[in-house]
Amino acid sequence: MAVWKHVLSNTGSVNDTYNLSLTQATNDNGDLLNPVIVEDTNGNGIYDPTIDTVISQVSLNINKQTTLFVVGTVPTNAKANDVFNTILKATSNNTKEVNAKIDSVVVNILKKGFDFDLTAAPDLVRASNQLGVWKHLLSNTGSLNDIYDLSLVNATNDNGDLINPRIFEDTNNNGQYDVGVDVPVTQLSLNVGQQSTLFVVGTVPANAQINDVLNTKIIVLAQISKLTKNQLDVVSVVKNLPALALTKTVATEGCTLQNNLPCVEFNPQNGTQKTVDVLTYTLSATNILDQTLEPIDIVLDGVATKKVVFRDDLPPNVRLLDLTLVKIN
C-alpha cells in the first residue's frame, strides 16, 4: 500500500466547494490498485483506514484547510524500477480553477512499507500466588505509521490459566513494571521508528501444582497492514520461592572460631595472647526474583512504620553492639 498526504487550502476570499478526482497516468508502467481519495476525518495527520472517509468533494470556508490522503496498492506483479503515477485534481466550483498534483512511486526504492517487531520474553519460575511479569518491546520497523491492537490468549495445552492477565504500557519509560504507574493498554499508535515497552502481567493461581506450566500468548494485530505477530509467555510452577537470598559471614580480629571455644588472638610482635569477644557479622540480602518485596506494618522504636523484614537470630550469649546498614541498588 502507498499513501500520499496532501493539504487542500481555501486561499480565496469566499467560501468554496472543491470537486476531487484521481487519474491514473498513462506514461508509466501501470496502474495502482483501487486508488481512492480519503479525508483526514479526525485531523490527526495520520491515515486511519477505519476512521478516515473516502470523498470526492469537500467544502471549505475562507482560510480553512483539510488534509487529504491518496491511497493505492502497488500491483503484486510490479517489477523493479517500475514507476506508478497518479494525478490528484481539485476543481473549484466558484472559479473552475483546477489544481493538480502527481503522486509517484518507484518500486525499486520503495521501503518495506508496513512492518513491526515484537520481542520475546524469558521464561519465568514462580510459586503459587506469585506475580509473573514478562517484558516485550513493540517496534514499528516499517516505513509507514500504523496502529496496533493488543490482546492476550491463555493457552489450552498447558496446566491452567494465569489470574487476571493484562498488558501494561511502560508509562514512565524506565524499563520496569511499576504498580500504580504503568497503565493497562489494548491499542497503541506508533510512528515510523517508534517503539514501546509492554509488560504482560498475571498471577499464578493458588491451586497451581509443582511442575505445572502456564502459557499466555500476547498477540499484536496491525490495523492498517493487517500484519500479526505473537509471543508465548511461559511460567513454570515450583514450591514456594524465597524472594530474598540472605548470606552471612563472620569475622574476628585475626582468628578463627573452632568448637565453640573462645577465640584467642596471638600477637607475634610481643608474644602476647588475648581473648577476642567482638564478632563482626556481615549480612547480605539480595532480591533473587524480578518482583518488588513489599513492606509490612511493624513498630520500630515505638513508631509505626512499614519495612521489608527478614529474620536472623543471634547466636546464644551474643548481644548486638552496633548496626550499620548499607543500601546498594
Which pLDDT score is estimated for 194?
92
Range name among 12-21, 112-121, 194-203 with the lowest pLDDT average: 112-121
Euclidean distance between CA atoms 223 and 115, whole angstroms = 12
Q: Each residue of 88-131: pLDDT tens digit?
A: 999 999 999 998 988 887 775 444 578 899 999 999 888 888 88
Element of type H or E holding 8: strand 2-9
Strands 296-300 and 33-39: unpaired
Element of type H or E holding 36: strand 33-39
Which region holds residue 226: left if phi is over 0, alpha if psi is between -120 and 50, else beta? left
Burial of 109 (0-12, 13-18, 19+ CB in 10 A): exposed
- Say which residue, 290 or 120, is predicted with more confidence: 120
Q: In the chain, pLDDT over 70 holds for what percent of residues?
A: 80
| 72 SS3 class | strand
| Angle at CA of residue 311, ends 308 and 316, nearest 5° | 155
All three cell numbers of 283: 549480612
CA-based end-to-end distance of the chain: 49
- Say which residue, 27 or 110, is predicted with more confidence: 27
Q: Give the residue carrying C-alpha cell 509443582.
A: 210
Which pLDDT score is estimated for 109?
44
Q: What is the mean pLDDT of residues 208-229?
A: 90
Which pLDDT score is estimated for 48?
86
State the chain's mean pLDDT as an integer. 82
- How does residue 288 score in pLDDT terms, banded at 50, 70 and 90? low
Residue type at 177 in one-letter notation: Y
Strands 272-276 and 303-307: unpaired
| Angle at CA of residue 231, ends 228 and 132, nearest 5° | 140
Euclidean distance between CA atoms 19 and 42, whole angstroms = 21
Which pLDDT score is estimated for 199?
95
Euclidean distance between CA atoms 95 and 236, whole angstroms = 73
Range name among 76-80, 161-165, 227-231, 309-313 with the lowest pLDDT average: 309-313
DSSP 174-226: SSS--TTTSEE-SEEEE-TT-EEEEEEEEE--TTPPTT-EEEEEEEEEETTT-
Residue 26 carries which DSSP code? S
Which pLDDT score is estimated for 327?
61
All three cell numbers of 72: 493505492
- How does residue 263 score in pLDDT terms, banded at 50, 70 and 90? low
Q: What is the mean pLDDT of residues 69-86?
A: 84
| Angle at CA of residue 82, ends 81 and 85, nearest 5° | 130
Burial of 150 (0-12, 13-18, 19+ CB in 10 A): buried
Which pLDDT score is estimated for 74?
84
Which pLDDT score is estimated for 202?
92
